[in-house]
Structure formats: C-alpha cells, structure tokens
Structure 1
Amino acid sequence: MRRIYHYPHYTGFKKTNPNVIYRRYSLNKPTEFHMQDRDSHIHNFSHHDNPVTELKDYGPEPFVINIERATKQNNTFRTALWTGKYMQLTLMSIGVGEDIGLEIHPNVDQFIRIEEGTGLVKMGDSKHNLNYQKDVSDGYIIIIPAGKWHNIINTGNRPLKLYSIYAPPQHPRGTVHETKEIAEAAEKNN
C-alpha cells in the first residue's frame, strides 16, 4: 500500500517538526508517528488574563484593555473609560428600542464600533435631513465627521453595546451616565 505524506513530511525521529509533538511511537515502524496538535497540551487560562475590569476613567495614563470584553461588560448608557488631552474613549449600552439621541458635534470627529447587537445609523447635514442611513451589527464601525447630525437606534432585541472614540474629548473626565435621561440632563447643564 502506498502512503501519501503531506508536505512537509518529516521522516526519522531525530528531525524536529515545529507543527507537532511526538508521542510514544512503535519500534517496529520507526517512520510512523502518533501525533497530536502541538498546542493541545496547553490549557486555556484566558479567563485568568482578563478578569472583570472596573469600568472607570483611566486617562491620561497609559492603558491596555480587552475592549470587546469591557464593552460587553458595560451596562451604563455612557461611561468614559479613558480621557486624554486630545482623545476620549467611552462605552455605551443602548437599551432595546432606545437610541443615543439626535446630536451634532461641531468640532469633534467620532469613531464608533458595535460589539454586540443591531442598530440603525442615521446621519445628515441637518437634523431634518438624515439622508445617510445604514444597518449595523457586531463588528461594524461608524465614522461620524465633525458637524454631522447623527443618531444610532437599537433595532434589536438585546442591548446595543458599543464604544466610541472622540477626538478631541466630548465629555468631562470620569463621566458616568447610568441612563440616557441622566446624560441628557447633564448635557443641558453644560
């Protein structure tokens, strides 16, 4: 019987194959090895590397975080996670059937990434003409140029989890708005 060996084929037990580790092999057939995946012996300890993070403003110090996990962990309407001199990162959770609210940032560019849920983005040059509309879901990004009216509506059946990057910062350092109503009241006072 003819054997088919896939490239690269390693013969002899002294050669090192970087793709597999060798288990015990038969002495009767030294070129036939019982192989397993190289990484199968490594246990998954990722839950130890990324414990639940306290969601607060860590700026302007250097900062590293699993942004997907932090975004999904957030249950507030808005929490500033990092605020620096020229940029701000906020987390948002938009309830079912709710929206972020029609708004404009005259001097701020905004980047938004959807981590969980589905929604509808509306943008335009005036609040009465939101002629740019797109459906979004997990993994989509939204770029909002300064001076554009915009709104994001949760069209799904679970909270819409997203993070937003403002340049320059839009909200005071340490901002936490538990609900949309609290956020709107805070903006009226500014």
Structure 2
Amino acid sequence: MTIKDIGPEPQSFDLEQATLENTTYRTVAWSGKHLQLTLMSIPVGGDIGLEAHPGTDQFLRLDAGRGRVQMGSAKDHLDFDREVEDGWAIFVPAGTWHNVTNIGDEPLQLYAVYAPVHHAAGKVQATAEAAERDEESGDDEPPPWSVQPVRPPSDQHA
C-alpha cells in the first residue's frame, strides 16, 4: 500500500495495513491544518532518539513489535519507564522528554499523530540519520497551510 500525503484534504485508508507495510523510519502520511499522521518503522535495537517537542503533543500506537518507552521532565530524569507492544498507545505531552526503543526481535511498527503539525508534508525519511539531517538543514518544516504556535519553540535532542 502506498500512501500519498494530499495535505488538508479528506483522506481514508487502512491505517493498520499501511503501518505494518511501512519500511521507512518515518513517512508523513497525512498533514492537516492542526494535526499530522506519520508512519514509523524502528529496526531491532534502534530507537526514536531522546527528544522533547515543547509545542507538540504526540499520540503513538504500536501495531507490531515490542518496545520500551521512557519519558520525563528532563533528559536526565526519565521517571516513566514501560514496556509496550502491539496494540499499546503512548501519549506524550508537549515538552516531555521521551524515547521509544525497539527491544524485540522484529521491526517496531507504529504510527504517530502530532498536534500541531510537526513535519514537512509528504516527507519520507528512510533512516533516523536522514531525519536528523533534514531537521538540521531546515528541510523538514511544517507546511504553510498548517496552524502553528505564534513562536514555535525549537525541539530539543539529547
């Protein structure tokens, strides 16, 4: 299944199938004015990377694999620590440091909903390294039709 981000237009597709078939670190599947959906595949032993989004709430749902989610108020104070697996949801409040690590023996397949929109519409990043390069170069900015905070705070990475 190939998903094409059509921007803030009505869209419908089999989200579980798309998530399970996704092989990229991150693919932006739909970008609206106020929220965004990305599909993610984290390789065995890999992780999302410790980060905090000061102005963005996140919802993540696992459709395959096993993971460990860690969250907290500071990058050196991750007092929320849970093992998660297929069917589990993760809620990340804005400003919360978080990481999800694949602790299983297969890719961790998940999707993330960001509010407000966080990534460039239709952006496909094959690896975590590609995502980091895009962020550093400014090549992963939300689309102009999205509603952003007046002065969006910068993400923080460990």
Give me the TM-score of the superposition, normalised by structure 2: 0.85
Q: Is 1:88 paired with 2:88?
A: no
Computed over aligned residues only, the root mean square deviation of the Cα atoms, in angstroms, reads 0.7
1:108 aligns with 2:56: yes
Q: Does 1:58 align with 2:6?
A: yes
Q: Quick one: distance in 1 between partners of 2:45 and 2:3?
A: 25
Counterpart in the other structure of 2:104:
156
Q: Residue 56 of structure 1 contacts residue 79 of structure 1 at CA under 8 Å; is this kept in 2? A: no
Cα deviations across residues 85-104 of structure 1 (Å, max 9, x unaligned)?
A: 10000000000000000111
Deviations 1:80-124 (A, max 9, x none): 000011000000000000000011100100000000000000000
Instruction: Give the 3-state SS of the residue equivalent to 1:182 in structure 2.
Output: helix
Kindly indicate whether residue 93 of structure 2 is the aligned counterpart of residue 136 of structure 1.
Answer: no
1:174 aligns with 122
Distance of 1:186 and 1:107 partners within structure 2: 19
Q: Sequence identity of aligned pairs in percent?
A: 51
CA contact (8 A) 1:90 1:165 kept: yes
Q: List gaps (5 residues or longer) in structure 1.
A: 1-52
Q: Which amino acid aligns with 2:100?
A: I
TM alignment of 1:36-47, pairs within 5 A: none
Shift of residue 65, structure 1, vs aligned partner: 1.0
SS in 1 for 2:52: coil
Tell me, in whole angstroms, the C-alpha distance in 1 between the residues paired with 2:21 and 2:7: 19
Partner AA of 1:56 in structure 2 = K
Deviations 1:158-188 (CA, angstroms, capped at 9, x unpaired): 0000000000011011111011110011111
* Unmatched 5+ stretches in structure 2: 139-158
Q: How does 1:114-125 map to 2 (within 5 A)?
A: 114-125=62-73
Superposed displacement of residue 56, structure 1: 2.6
Q: Which runs of 4+ in 1 moved over 6 A?
A: none
Higher relative contact order (CA 8 A, sep 6+): 2
Whether 1:70 and 2:15 are equivalent positions in the alignment is no
Higher strand share: 2
Residue 59 of structure 1: how far off its partner (Å) = 2.3
Structure 1 counterpart of 2:112, one-letter code = S
> Within 1, Cα distance between the matches of 2:88 and 2:126?
24
